[in-house]
Amino acid sequence: MKHPIRKKWGQNFLQDPNIIRKIVDVVNPIEEDVILEIGPGKGALTFELTPKVKQLIAVEIDPLLVEYLNKRKQSNLVIHQADILDFGFNQMEYKYLIVGNLPYNITSPIIFKLLENTNWNKAVFMVQNEVAERMSAKPGNKIYGRLSVMVQAFAKVQYHFKVPPGVFFPQPDVNSAVISLTPIRRNIDDRLLFTEIVRTAFGQRRKKIRNTLKSYLVENKLEQIGDLRPEDLAVSDFIDISNSCKEL
């Protein structure tokens, strides 16, 4: 099919059967699974995954691609033409899988939205390599930052493999990588406060947290960790700060 490539929707289509197979292996679907696919495009992953599961629900913004996919429809494939950022994830059956070779310009908003409601089991995404590295970075690493803490507070992140530009058409300018997220339950008393503390701390990442977070830190925390910088704090430290925070 001749299809105009829409850059604004981050359209880089996977062409390499080997990479497609490797992604399917990471998803590791079973017959009872329900999968939500974000941005199916021309169906590189969709048509591999659909025969292996109970149902695949695909959300694609581009009406021309939706028309194309509808012509090749399988009985257990449901296609919605919609913006994934407007999609009601709470309408999904409890515990589904999420898969997507994500449009890179909206990777973070998609991931933040998914972390708001972790009614899913596992997510497997292709993202820009640099973003994959930031999401999975550990404390002490210079790329460990707000994204690392926010994602790792709600999910276990696994970096699977790097993907070069040549396996896409058109080729992106950057390397990509496949990651997976598995939700974890942590005791965060006030999610908004936690988010605000992480944002404030990394807003001035070279400063000691006794300065950036002074209005939040109770006395004993100030003593324990006040001289550290945000990149030295584990996710559990940020949760601790937020749960033991001063009444403001």
Query: Residue 69 or residue 213: which is nearer to ligand SAM going by CB?
Result: 69
Q: Is 13 among the residues that bind ligand SAM (CB under 6 A)? A: yes
Q: Is 11 among the residues that bind ligand SAM (CB under 6 A)? A: yes
Q: Is 129 among the residues that bind ligand SAM (CB under 6 A)? A: no
Q: Which residues does 187 contact at the CB level (< 8 Å), separation at least 6?
A: 239, 243
**Helix or strand (DSSP H, E) at 241:** helix 235-243
Which residues are paired to 180 by β-bridges?
A: 124, 158
Q: Tell me which residue has its CB nearest to ligand SAM.
A: 39
- Interaction residues for ligand SAM, span 86-125 (CB under 6 A): 101, 103, 106
Cα angle: 9, vertex 148, 176; to 5 degrees: 40
Work out how close the CB of 72 gets to ligand SAM at its nearest, in angstroms, rounded to a whole number: 14
Q: Is 137 among the residues that bind ligand SAM (CB under 6 A)? A: no
Q: How far from each other are the two terminal CA atoms of the chain, in whole angstroms?
A: 59
String of contacts with ligand SAM for each residue 38-67, x by CB under 6 A:
-xxxx-xx-------------xxxx--x--
Query: Residue 12 or residue 136: which is nearer to ligand SAM going by CB?
Result: 12
SS3 for 19-81 is HHHHHHHHHCCCCCCEEEEECCCCCCCHHHHHHHCCEEEEEECCHHHHHHHHHCCCCCEEEEE
Reduced to 3 states, what is the DSSP secondary structure of residue 208?
coil
CA 121 remoteness from chain centre: 13
How many CB atoms sit inside 10 A of residue 159's CB?
15
Choosing from 30, 85, 174, 184, the residue that interacts with ligand SAM (CB under 6 A) is 85
Query: Residue 42 or residue 221: which is nearer to ligand SAM going by CB?
Result: 42
- Interaction residues for ligand SAM, span 142-181 (CB under 6 A): none
Query: Residue 59 or residue 178: which is nearer to ligand SAM going by CB?
Result: 59
Q: Is 10 among the residues that bind ligand SAM (CB under 6 A)? A: yes
In single-letter form, the type of residue at position 236 comes to: S
Give the binding-site size for ligand SAM (rule: CB under 6 A).
23
The residues binding ligand SAM (CB under 6 A) are 9-14, 39-42, 44-45, 59-62, 65, 83-85, 101, 103, 106
